[in-house]
């Protein structure tokens, strides 16, 4: 009986190989264990083994005794979904919920990890700022990023109403360029969720635009930090919108030169060095990609 079955399988194989090849047909080998292989039969040793080349070029061999049947069937065309991560499993670009190995079409808030980017506008009393952050989401509740921004800051007393930012009476006033590390995250795994952020870095103070009026005083900027809480709403796709309240600590290392008088009443220049520090309240409007 075993020899008869082997002969029948060999005859079936000869018919399969000798048939006119069609581009939409392929060989299918069914095994007794229930598995099957689709491709092109490339070798058959009568009564011993069969080799089939499957998709991708791999060749698989198995004993004839394990074969249940061999057929020729219409080729199966695999439907390919658009690849959201065409670059080695990572979607590139400036995006808030880029896949980082997750090529699914899940909404941003449902992805376990991804690259992200945000634009954050932060007005406040005696300060105003714009932030750009690029980073990676570690999990649903923690993200790490690098931020760069530009701030207008007024260190004087009272409310400046915008003009004080450019007031040369205080060398600490003016435009700052903060560069910092950011830790942020959502508090819920939901489309609408509270979120938090914590930042720490250094804010550079470029040359005072009014240096011609005050050429002796200098300012170099200093360490800066921020903390805030907010509420975020995700879209069904790649974006989010958030509002927040927070605080921004600004420091500035400076040198001031003032005019004094010596014991004989002669005018002299007095140089003083120091560091100014102030805590500013901010509101925030952020757009995520």
- pLDDT of the residue at 169: 64
What is the pTM for the complete model shown?
0.60
DSSP code per residue over 223-241: EEEEEEEEEEEE-SSS-EE
pLDDT at 267: 82
**The pLDDT of residue 51:** 92
Which domains does the chain show, CATH number per domain?
A: 2-74 (2.30.30.100), 108-288 (2.40.160.20)
**Cα separations in angstroms, 283 against 19, 116, 151, 226:** 75, 21, 13, 12
What DSSP string runs through the chain? -HHHHHHHHHHHHHHHHHSPP-TTEEEEEEETTS-EEEEEEEEEETTTEEEEEETTS-EEEEEGGGEEEEEEEEPPPPPPPP-S-TBTTB--SS-TTB-TT--S---GGG-SSEEEEEEEEEEETTEEEEEEEEEEE-SSS-EEEEEEEEEEE--SSS--TTGGGG-TTSTT-EEEEEEEEEEEEESSSSSEEEEEEEEEEEEE-PPPTTTTT--S-EEEEEEEEEEEEEEEEE-SSS-EEEEEEEEEEEEEEEEEEEEEE-TTS-EEEEEEEEEEEEEEEEEEEEEE-
What is the predicted pLDDT for the residue at 217?
73
pLDDT digits (tens, 9 = 90+) for 196-232: 999 999 999 886 554 445 556 778 899 999 999 999 9
- Token pair, residue 230, equals 């907010």
Q: pLDDT value at position 121?
A: 96
Spans of the chain below 50 pLDDT: 18-21, 81-103, 210-212
The answer to whether 198 and 227 have CB atoms below 8 angstroms apart is yes
Give the pLDDT of residue 154: 87
pLDDT at res. 209: 52
- Predicted confidence at residue 118, as pLDDT, reads 95
């Amino acid at each position: 009986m075993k020899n008869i079955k082997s002969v029948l399988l060999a005859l079936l194989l000869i018919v399969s190989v000798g048939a006119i090849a069609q581009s939409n047909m392929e060989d299918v080998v069914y095994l007794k264990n229930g598995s099957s292989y689709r491709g092109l039969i490339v070798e058959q040793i009568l009564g011993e083994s069969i080799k089939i080349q499957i998709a991708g070029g791999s060749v698989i061999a198995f004993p004839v005794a394990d074969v249940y049947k061999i057929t020729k069937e219409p080729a199966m065309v695999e439907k390919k979904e658009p690849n959201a991560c065409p670059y080695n499993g990572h979607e590139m670009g400036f995006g808030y919920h880029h896949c980082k190995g997750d090529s699914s079409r899940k909404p941003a808030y449902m992805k376990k990890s991804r690259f992200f980017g945000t634009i954050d506008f932060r007005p406040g009393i005696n300060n105003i700022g714009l932030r750009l952050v690029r980073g990676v989401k570690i999990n649903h509740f923690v993200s790490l990023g690098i931020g760069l921004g530009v701030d207008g800051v007024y260190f004087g007393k009272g409310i400046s109403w915008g003009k004080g930012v450019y007031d040369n009476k205080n060398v600490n006033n003016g435009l700052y360029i903060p560069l910092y590390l950011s830790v942020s995250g959502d508090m819920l795994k939901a489309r609408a969720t509270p979120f938090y952020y914590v930042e720490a870095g250094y804010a550079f103070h470029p040359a005072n635009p009014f240096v011609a009026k005050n050429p002796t005083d200098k300012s170099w900027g200093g360490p800066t930090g921020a903390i805030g809480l907010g509420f975020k709403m995700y879209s069904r796709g790649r974006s989010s919108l958030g509002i927040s309240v927070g605080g921004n600590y600004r420091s500035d290392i400076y040198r001031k030169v003032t005019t004094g008088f010596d014991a004989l009443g002669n005018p002299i220049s007095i140089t003083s060095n120091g560091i100014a520090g102030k805590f500013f309240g901010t509101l925030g409007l952020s757009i995520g990609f």
